[in-house]
Amino acid sequence: MPELPEVETVKQTLIPLVVGKRISECQVLYPRVLPKNHVNEFTADMINRKIITICRRGKYLLFLLDSKLLLVIHLRMTGQLVFYPEKSAPLAKHTSAVFTFYDGGELRFVDQRKFGTIYLMPDSQLHIISGLYTLGPEPLSKEFSSEILTKIVKSGRSIKSILLDQKKIAGLGNIYTDEVLYRARIHPKRPGSSLETAEISALYRSIVTVLQEAIAAKGTTIKDYRTGDGDRGNFQNKLQVYGKSGEACPTCNTLIQKTKISGRSSHFCPNCQRWDKS
Ligand SMILES: [Zn+2]
């Protein structure tokens, strides 16, 4: 599932390709991609609109248009939002929607599992998208700090499930929570409230650096994720624990273990990420 670094990369790679372009045609091939809009109204509202810029909040992409409406896209499990310079490029089987530009290129939303969603609404009504409205702080924003993280982790829940909770902190998913906790040497099942000040500082630093490194590598492509220009990411080559159960820890050679936390598989090194440090 695309997480913050992948969605940020899609944004960064699409900006030079689609900002300033005007939409000539809009096709919705999978109507359920629009949970809140009617297909006919949606296409009528999108035609002739120009893309002014693209922003990201958590795992949501927000397209500012030259109208009072905001286009919001969530890629969910397998969504790909890719610009095709040529309209003649064959349409992928699982294409949910296509936005054609006057100069001939197309922005296509391809989604194999079909959980991805598109919304079009005035920004005064964004509260209708509850997952967007209730997002916690952006971990790469100036507002995020060790002090804010201290308040976020104060809970009896496991630190892994706190970090996965989009209401607590925006944008982290299963891959990056595992990597961040490994980097901070914190056992994923530790209750958040048991973390000491030094551990919270280490966690804060690892959240920021792992996300920055993953964005620099254009995200992690395990299977479906593509950048806005159709490339794969590179961070899968830099993962240290995620998906590595049974392999040697890069730090200490102990075998990486896998466990379930809140129904998600979690990977960790039982030696580097000891519950009891004594
Ligand atoms: Zn280790």
Express each pLDDT in 163-201 by its tens digit.
999 999 999 999 999 999 999 999 999 999 999 999 999
Q: HEC states along 170-235?
A: CCCCHHHHHHHHHHCCCCCCCEHHHCCHHHHHHHHHHHHHHHHHHHHCCCCCCCCCCCCCCCCCCH
Query: Hunting for tokens 């922005």 — which residue is that?
Result: 107
69-87 average pLDDT score = 96
Question: Whose CA is closest to 89, among 109, 106, 110?
Answer: 106
266 CA → ligand 1 middle, Å:
15
Q: Is residue 219 part of a domain?
A: yes
pLDDT the model gives residue 277: 63
Mean pLDDT, all residues of the chain: 96
Cα-to-centroid distance, 130 and ligand 1 (Å): 39
Answer with the one of 102, 133, 164 that is the final residue of a domain: 133
What's the domain range around 43? 4-133
Q: Which residues are catalytic?
A: 2-3, 59, 264
Is-contact 111 34, C-beta < 8 A? no
Range 93-99 average pLDDT: 97
Regarding beta strands 51-57 and 106-111, do their DSSP bridges make them parallel or antiparallel, or are they unpaired? unpaired
What's the gap in Å between 182 CA and the centre of ligand 1? 8
Q: Is 123 helix (H, G, I), strand (E, B) or coil?
A: helix
Contact indicator for 75, 58 with CB cutoff of 8 Å: no
**251 and 203 part of one domain:** yes
255-184-207 Cα angle (round to 5): 120
Number of domains in the chain: 2
Q: Does one domain contain both 85 and 202?
A: no
270: CA distance to ligand 1 center in Å? 7
| Residue 141 lies inside a defined structural domain of this protein | no
